[in-house]
Structures are given as C-alpha cells and as structure tokens.
Amino acid sequence: MMKKLWAFLILLSAAISPAFSDDNFFLIHDFNSQDYANRLGGPTGKWELDPNDTSQWCNISFSPENAIFMEQGYSLRIEYNITSSRQNFVTGNQGMSQQEVGQHAKNFNGIYMLLKGFDATPFKYLTFWAKGDAAEGYPRNLKIELKDKARSSQVTVDGLTEHWQVFYVPLSRFGSDIKLSELMEFVIVFDEKSSRPKGVVYLDQVGLSKDQEIKSAPGGLESVKIPQIKAPPVKDAVIIDGKLDEWSGECFDLGEKNLEFGQYHGKKDGSAKVCLAWDSVYLYIGAKVKDDQIVNTKSGSEIYRMDGLELFFDPQNNGLEWKNVSDFQLGIAPGSSEGLAQVWSYFDNRKPAERDVKTAVTVTKSGYVIESAVSFKFLGINPVANEVFGFSAALHDLDPKDAHDYKLNWHFAKDAKDQNLFRLGIVKLSE
C-alpha cells in the first residue's frame, strides 16, 4: 500500500547552506554547478516507462529559478507529460517498484537521483525545495520514492504551489520497507494519480536533515520587528580609499542573529560592522569585516559566490521585488589579495559606472574594510533630511579549507501579504 503524507510546508528560508553541509543537514544536490552528478557522485536523470512512446515524456534541465532566498544559482526544471495513448502492462522485471506492476491506461515517468548506498540513519527528514510553474501548470502532489539495494517505499507529498516551499518528509513515513542505512535512489514519479497529466516542477536543495529549522527573519515571513537606523550627515569631504578615517556614521553589527543560511563559525571567521552616513550626493557605506580566509577567485556577476558584501535598496520602501530595476542589489568584493574592489549591479546586470558607485577595499590583518559611496541619483532617492528607504547589508563568508559557507543579512524578509516582495530594514536620513 502506498503511504500518503501531508508534508510539512514552510514558507520560509531554511538555514541550509547552498554549497556545504553542517551537522544537522546533509546537502545531496543544489544544482548550482549545472552538473547532474550530486555530492555523492551519483547521477541525476529522467526515466520513462516506454522511451519509444513519444506521446509521453519527461525532460530535465537547469533553471536560474533558485530556491535559497533568491541567491543566484540554479534549480532542476522537470517537465513531464503522461498523456499516453498506449496501454502498457508493467512487469516486475522492468526495474519499477512493485506498486507500479499491472495494467496502466496511462503511462508514467519521472526523475531519479542515485545515492550510492548512503547511510541516512542519523537523519529524521528527507528535505527538498519545490514549486510549480504557474504558466505551464503543475501537479498539486508529488509521489516520492526511496530505494535501498532490494526494495522501495513511496509517500505522496501534497500542497505544491507556484511559490518555493521547503518540504520536510519524515523518513519514518517510508516505514520499515527499506533500509535507511543503504539508500540507493531518490525518485519522483508522475503517474495517473498526479493531479495534472502534464506540467513543470522546479526542484532544489535536496538533502537530509536532523530537524526542522524555523526562522522568522531574515528570509522567512515578515514576523519580527523591522530594524531602523538613522544615517547622519557627514561633516567633511569624504575620500573613498577604504580607510574610514575621515567620517563616522550610525552603525549596526552583522553576526549570528543575522544568519540567513549555513552554520555560523564565530566573529573572527566572518562578521561585520556596517556604518552609514550621507551628503547631498552620496550615501556612504563603510564595513569593517572580520574574515580569517579571504576568497576572491570570481569576477563580474559571479562575485556573489565569494567573500564580500551585498547591499539591497528599496528606494520607495514598498517592498523589494527581485530583479525589478527600480530596486537594487549591489555586490562588493575584494578582487585580489591587495584588496582591489569589484562591484556588480545585479538587477540591471552590469558593472555600475564610477559616478554611480565609488568603492575601495583595504585588506587588514583580521579581514578587510569596504568603503563605498552610492549615488542617490543612481538609486532614485531624494537626498533630504527625514527621507526614508528600505536597506539591508549582507555578508557572505566562504571558507573552502574549512568546508563551510554562510551568509549574514541585516533584515530581508518575505512580505506576509505578497510573497513576491521582501521587506528590508529602514534607513532614515537624519538632520
């Protein structure tokens, strides 16, 4: 008998690293490298009951639709169609589950991910992010199957929507039919019990977890007090040289309480103090970053994958909409061991002009300092006292030697009424 599961649906950003794992979570595949091989070395692929039946099919590809808190990256796009005109009798020697043996008026297909005998006994949940494609249509349920070396077990996960959700599927719901100590395969099945015969599903962040991590912000639904900061006017002319010695502003810290994803490894490993000030032309941003390993092997639009700072702006303070050119995401990173700055504007996909964003970086014994002047004209913000706008600063720390990766974000939370918008912290230009 197939077991039916009402999955736990959590509309939030889970504390899951997109590149590495911690003690509570093991990431199997995040698809960001656009490689079908997962972290265990097993391939990901599609399967069809009858590949010669062209009236049904399943195709997979990589999509820039990424689940983890709008990080630049990729997910797996699964397009399926099970509207076959043929009748098929499935036998046990076709390699399918026993649940599928028999006469089928419709065909069935899906995707698989080989796990190579992975021992899942330390974990309680199979986890993954998923959403449907509103334009192409999607099923409201997914049949999930786990296989060991000899047997398989299935559950049905209900509640798929057009928005990213993280599903926590208790491994106990697969029963004693399979050995969790030797998992061989993760499978998604589309068949006649799917609520739609064809559609598109996006899959991301497949892994195993020991618990369910619930966060309110950053990254979850808006349910905590929004932080505010008053940026003072500068008294003297500011030279952008990465030293922060001719001006002082109002500051806030980025630390463990601001964890967006990953596992925090302490102040010396990755933390920051961010300060703001302004004049009639620029918003000044200074960040003193502690980082014991500075990683900077990327350039251009790829700098978000390395150590650095991200700045988010919602000029109208009406909710940041991802990739809306009226809002802004700026990436700033030390471009070399000497601290040469790299800057990228993501929503308009370009390096901003020097007149729009001036930046300098200096490397210190404990990390690096970023100093930046962002033009109010570039942001579309009126530089007058008492002006208010949405803002957040995020620190990304990547340490390959220690195999960890995490991100701290001041305040970046989904709007409770509109899931397409994000609420940032608030900056007020003081007198």
Q: What would the pLDDT profile of 81-133 be if each residue is shown by its tens digit?
A: 988 666 554 555 544 444 444 444 457 889 999 999 999 999 999 999 999 99
Can you tell me the mean pLDDT for 209-231?
66
Q: What is the pLDDT of residue 125?
A: 94
Task: Let me know how long the chain is.
Answer: 431
pLDDT top residue among 231 and 414 = 231
What is residue 254's predicted lDDT score, i.e. its pLDDT?
Answer: 95
Using 50, 70 and 90 to split pLDDT, how confident is the model at 296?
Answer: confident
* Domains, the chain, with CATH or none: 3-209 (2.60.120.260), 228-429 (2.60.40.1190)
Q: What percent of the chain has pLDDT over 70?
A: 83
pLDDT given for residue 99 in this prediction? 46
pLDDT in tens, 320-341: 998 899 999 999 998 754 557 8
